[in-house]
Amino acid sequence: MSSCPLPIRSFAWDDLEAVLDLWRGAGPGVHLGPSDAPEEIRKKLTRDPDLFLVSEEQGRIVGAVMGGYDGRRGLVYHLAVRPDERRRGLGTTLMDELEQRLRSKGCLKVYLLITPDNLDIMEYYRRRGWGVMDTAIMGKELQ
């Protein structure tokens, strides 16, 4: 477990703009798309709002992670920490809390997507016990 002293709490709708700004400024590893539009985030919150976590310091959002659980598998979306707040354990604290909440729901396996050029993040997750899976990811836009 991490020793980061910042509190973690569930996302509140009033956090939306600050979280979107955080994600936009997170660097090349966070890619926003149509599913990150406010109306899509609102839909996500009807399913498992307790898996969308934020951390704030002095009233500003400094870290966030959104997770999902479909009753069978979990998924991690958009872990981000403000660049000036990194290397203090906040990302680890957010992930620890998200993994614990997924476990408490009965989730046995969780996935996340990383672009192949994001080697630093890949190494971060390897240190957390994640492994690269030999699979092909396919997607289709339903719009």
User: pLDDT truncated to tens, each residue of the chain (143 aa)?
Assistant: 445 578 999 999 999 999 999 999 887 778 888 999 999 999 999 999 999 999 998 899 999 999 999 999 999 999 999 988 888 889 999 999 999 999 999 999 999 988 888 888 888 889 989 998 888 888 888 87
Q: What is the pLDDT of residue 2?
A: 47
Q: How far is 37 from 40, CA to CA, in rounded Å?
A: 5
- Contact (CB, 8 A) for 62 and 55: yes
Edge-to-edge strand ranges of the sheet holding 60-69: 8-10, 52-57, 60-69, 74-81, 110-112
CATH number, domain with residue 88: 3.40.630.30
Would you state the pLDDT for residue 4?
59
Range of the domain at 17: 8-127
Model-level pTM?
A: 0.88
Confirm whether 1 is domain-assigned: no
Structural domain includes residue 137: no
pLDDT of residue 3: 54
| Residue 15 domain-assigned (yes or no) | yes
pLDDT at 136: 84
Task: Report how many domains make up the chain.
Answer: 1
Residue 124: predicted pLDDT: 87
DSSP code of residue 28: T
CA atoms within 13 A on the CB side of 140: 1
pLDDT at 1: 44
